[in-house]
Structure 1
């Protein structure tokens, strides 16, 4: 759909919940099968949330959102977003909020109705292992891979074989990143990220509690599809994409 209409890639992404107020929730996917016609009618009459899967969240929850899956972040949530390189968004509903110019922002209901994946899945939340002092794989997709590390001691990572840049983000506590080949060091404060070039991807993290590490599967995919990964945090947001 995105390639045919806009000559662009779709946008697959992942959410990692850094913190959430009690009772906070988000939407991901449909909770019951609906047709394209019903989707449009529910957007029109404001009942679209009645058919969306609502998930109460807590710290550490992960949701993988392949291109075409309806999703929205609600208030009281701080999260990290890792996504495929794409600036394409179809806005379905915007809670009647004005844009910076004071007017309602543009919606893309017709385009979204064609791009949406209406299938219902059993579980939208991603389960993963989180062993201490280990790089735990959370997501591996054609566009990015993500691991979480919860460590209590210096942790060595030699990722030169991936021939890809690495992004490290501290989501709890601070850490020092020490590059072995040059001796360079950088302090990464909680909530901040550091992009490590492929040529320097042999480093130590001291200490780290916990960190998300994200990298592309290999450089060849990066060059071929123009993919990259970045992190964005959001708090108390209400958006539809």
Structure 2
């Protein structure tokens, strides 16, 4: 079946987490019961594959799209060279409580499960309560020996940097960076298509099953970039309407922030699909064969072959592509 390319919207895969809440309902998303910490908005992973909600391909999973249309629709750079899957995973996170102190491996780590990628990611803070903070990297001079000693002596928090956050902040988190989101933030996360997390510390709290969650101290110590991995943070309030502001660049994704205040003519390229995350506001997305309303909390996968499209209305949008 030949299908003309169009913006794909997916039914989110909701994940219950000990640290989650109900804040994603504020985007009009339908949540199951429980403490929902993650909405996997666009995913092609064994632990969560999203299905199309709109248009001719409604009901098909992103894995089926990849198999049927991927080489054309995803672009020449739109595949993981390691496992052939869609290379990115897009999430919305509701941090009603502190997440575990954690670190992610690179693609090269020998301890990765077969077929799994490393995990470099970025965060864009959608909302933050007064006084909200995150853990972001190690204090100066903390090496493996110092970290091991701190863990053994129950003072790991003394080795970590805490950073205050507010809506509009962006954080680039390369693999190897120790980090943790803390309570009171809602976040858009663009990351490699991976579900591998190594926990260093989890506040000695029980998980959803009432038991302490597993820690991965040895793997964590192995993959931490003690000299830094290139993590960067920025305020993004300098974004100008009708211009893209680069807020994260990695070998796996480039993320830009755009303010839509008037009709904005844009286009995809042959190298990569485009992912649009509507961070706030509302408007319209128009392309050659159709248009639809869009609003905060919605995410779209635009095929590389879509060509010209237009954004209009009053909204903030995050645009992600795979670098050429």
TM-score range relative to shorter protein: 0.7 to 0.9
Distance in structure 2 (CA, Å) of the matches to 1:201 and 1:48:
50
For the 8 Å contact 1:29–1:52, the answer to whether it is kept is yes
Q: Residue 127 of structure 1: CA displacement?
A: 5.4
Using a 3 Å threshold, how does the CA distance of structure 1 residues 106 and 138 change in structure 2: closer, same or farther? Answer: same
| 1:139-198 superposed Cα distances (whole Å, 9 cap, x missing partner) | 22210011100121111111224x322111111111211112x2x222222111111112
Match of 1:194 in 2: 300
Match for 2:195 among 87, 106, 125? 87
For the 8 Å contact 1:169–1:188, the answer to whether it is kept is no
For the 8 Å contact 1:31–1:120, the answer to whether it is kept is no
Using a 3 Å threshold, how does the CA distance of structure 1 residues 201 and 49 change in structure 2: closer, same or farther? Answer: farther
For the 8 Å contact 1:33–1:120, the answer to whether it is kept is no
Q: Residue 203 of structure 1: CA displacement?
A: 0.7
Question: Bigger CA drift: 199-208 or 86-95?
Answer: 199-208
| 1:32-51 superposed Cα distances (whole Å, 9 cap, x missing partner) | 21221221222233321212
Match of 2:34 in 1: none
For the 8 Å contact 2:121–2:174, the answer to whether it is kept is yes
Question: Bigger CA drift: 5-14 or 115-124?
Answer: 115-124
The structure with more strand, counted as a fraction of residues = 2
Match for 1:70 among 165, 178, 199? 178
Question: Bigger CA drift: 18-27 or 38-47?
Answer: 38-47
The structure showing larger relative contact order (alpha-carbon pairs under 8 Å, at least 6 residues apart) is 1
Distance in structure 1 (CA, Å) of the matches to 2:198 and 2:304:
33
Match for 2:146 among 23, 38, 54? 38
Match for 1:130 among 239, 258, 272? 239
Match of 1:221 in 2: none
For the 8 Å contact 2:262–2:313, the answer to whether it is kept is yes
Distance in structure 1 (CA, Å) of the matches to 2:173 and 2:272:
23
Distance in structure 1 (CA, Å) of the matches to 2:109 and 2:284:
41
Match for 2:311 among 205, 218, 225? 205
Question: Bigger CA drift: 4-13 or 135-144?
Answer: 4-13
Distance in structure 2 (CA, Å) of the matches to 1:215 and 1:88:
22
SS in 2 for 1:41: helix
Distance in structure 1 (CA, Å) of the matches to 2:242 and 2:264:
7
Match of 2:26 in 1: none
TM-score by length of 1: 0.82
| 1:70-89 superposed Cα distances (whole Å, 9 cap, x missing partner) | 00000111111110122211
SS in 1 for 2:226: coil
For the 8 Å contact 1:138–1:146, the answer to whether it is kept is yes
Structure 2: gaps of 5 or more residues: 1-104
Aligned CA-pair RMSD:
2.1
Match of 1:105 in 2: 213
For the 8 Å contact 2:121–2:173, the answer to whether it is kept is yes
Q: Residue 14 of structure 1: CA displacement?
A: 0.5
Structure 1: gaps of 5 or more residues: 219-241
Match of 2:226 in 1: 118
Match for 1:139 among 248, 259, 274? 248
Distance in structure 2 (CA, Å) of the matches to 1:101 and 1:122:
36
Question: Bigger CA drift: 36-45 or 62-71?
Answer: 36-45
Q: Residue 216 of structure 1: CA displacement?
A: 1.0
